[in-house]
Amino acid sequence: MLRFCRGIRADAIIKVNERANSALLQKFRSLSGVASTTYNGPSYEETLKMRKEFVTPSAIPFYRKPLLIHKGEMQFLYDHKGVKYLDLFGGIVTVSVGHCHPKVNAALEEQIKTLWHTTAIYMHPKIYEYSEKLASKLPGDLKVVYLVNSGSEANDLAILLARLYTKNYDIITLKNAYHGGGTSTMGLTAQAPWYYPAPGIKNSIHHAMNPDPYTGIWGGKNCRDSPVQTKRNCDCTHGKCLAEDNYINQLESEFKYSLPRGKLAAMFAESIQGVGGTVQFPRNYLKRAAELVRQNGGLFVSDEVQTGFGRTGDHYWGFEGHEIIPDIVTMAKGIGNGFPLGAVVTTPKIAQVLTQAIHFNTFGGNPLACAVGNAVLDVIDEENLQQNALDVGSYLLKGFETLRDKYDIIGDVRGKGLMIGVEMVANSDTRKPMEVNNFIDIWERCKDMGVLFGKGGINGNVFRIKPPMCITKEDAKFALEVFEGAVKNQLNN
């Protein structure tokens, strides 16, 4: 029996569709156990009522019948009834080392007893100790740390730094990118569902063609830096990627037709697109893009909010897989394992421009956040989580590849480490996206059988798999079994 299943309470699994994989159901129905603590909060019905009356309607929870989550333990979550779930989304790629990791909890508990809050008006050792440790993880001259509370704040500050330093205003990002939802970072984002009709959102921000080897104009089976390639035919020759050349040509056309010559402030790019559906680029695209940006007076900003801190396995930072050293790096999410924390790291020369006026963040770098961030860095190293991300991630990728070759509705499998996307399609030849309701049916069945997947992509048809990096191969095997069961059920309907 698989180790991670022991806490799933079979009688509480919510009436899984009776046509689901019978072998899996039999396994789950034989299990027993509950969460180690009892839920004593408001009832499910009371919680629904409070959410409807007092919480912004824009905050929409997952699932047709939303989960009421009560407790987290490493890679697992428990609902109010004690039902245990394997979490493969990590609070939207935020829980990096595990829910309520003992060492991170202990660091927070120790700090909370002595000092909750101070700002830059006083010195506090935790801020400096953490900044030094974080900077030591970055290459080159990326040594100056500015601490904030979120990825949107980090990217907002990066915009300011780039414009002040270059004295230029125009910024370029990629279509399908997500860089935040603030009034400035919304402009960097290039997905219609995230836009509000407010003036000035995209002022002097330009979106270049997205170099997607699976659904883009060019690309094929030799383009990506991933254990799994697309099944799409490829005309590339050995050592020469035509898709890379063509997408770079498109980027060059942006400079030729849409930007002031030599007057770029910055280009922002995710190392692997997250919200957009775990989209990877042709191998050398970002390296050549960074060169082009600098030739035109701009800085290259790497958004590591989702790909940083060892998640891609091969490297600590996603940009290292593209063989570049950015001018500015933004980070958040996994940096604090769920605690509000973000950072901008840049060079001393670029950082100096902020001395032109007062720039202040009240809660950025508070002692609690720095204690947590420090512990997270230690756990990643001590528990070898980067290597675990590589090992378990590669196992998952190859497992999903086997399922892709078996079921036509699985169109593409991609990613590195524990940054994985599985794109579902209605037609594998045309790559037409699966209808959203059909996708949701599969997603819901996985939840009913004990596995929580993320979802995303511009068409809402990509399973996003970005779990806490402590998951095991046994967890991965269980997830693959559940996913296949849900896919079979969909095909049999």
Strand order in the sheet with 451-452: 69-73, 76-79, 84-87, 451-452
d(CA 456, CA 479): 18
* Residue boundaries of the structural domains of the chain: 37-55+64-80, 104-382
- If pLDDT is split at 50, 70 and 90, which confidence band does 27 have? low
- pLDDT at position 483 is 97
Angle at 55 between CA 54 and CA 57, to 5 degrees: 120
pLDDT in tens, 399-428: 999 999 999 999 999 999 999 999 999 998
d(CA 39, CA 96): 25
- pLDDT at position 29 is 38
pLDDT in tens, 111-165: 999 999 998 889 999 999 999 999 999 999 999 999 999 999 999 999 999 999 9
- pLDDT at position 38 is 87
Residue 163 three-state SS: helix
List phi, psi (to 5°) of 387: -65, -40
- If pLDDT is split at 50, 70 and 90, which confidence band does 33 have? very low
- pLDDT at position 360 is 87
- The stretches of 296-429 forming alpha helices (DSSP H) are 348-351, 367-382, 385-406
Share of the chain above pLDDT 90, in %: 82
For the segment 324-349, the average pLDDT, to the nearest whole number, is 97
Share of the chain above pLDDT 70, in %: 92
The yes-or-no verdict on residue 13 having pLDDT over 50 is: no
**Buried/exposed 294-305: b ≥16 CB within 10 Å, e otherwise:** eebbbbbbbbbb
- pLDDT at position 24 is 59
Q: Does domain 104-382 have CATH number 3.40.1160.10?
A: no
Q: Exposed, middle or buried: residue 59 (CB in 10 Å: 0-12, 13-18, 19+)?
A: exposed
pLDDT in tens, 82-101: 999 999 999 999 999 999 99
- pLDDT at position 21 is 52
Query: What average pLDDT does the chain have?
Result: 91
pLDDT in tens, 203-236: 899 999 999 999 999 998 889 999 999 998 887 7
Q: Are 484 and 403 in contact (CB under 8 A)?
A: yes
- pLDDT at position 120 is 84
d(CA 401, CA 228): 7
Ramachandran assignment for 19, one of left (phi > 0), alpha (psi -120 to 50 degrees), beta (any other): alpha
- Residue 330 vs residue 11, higher pLDDT: 330
pLDDT in tens, 347-394: 999 999 999 999 889 999 999 999 999 999 999 999 999 999 999 999
- If pLDDT is split at 50, 70 and 90, which confidence band does 36 have? low
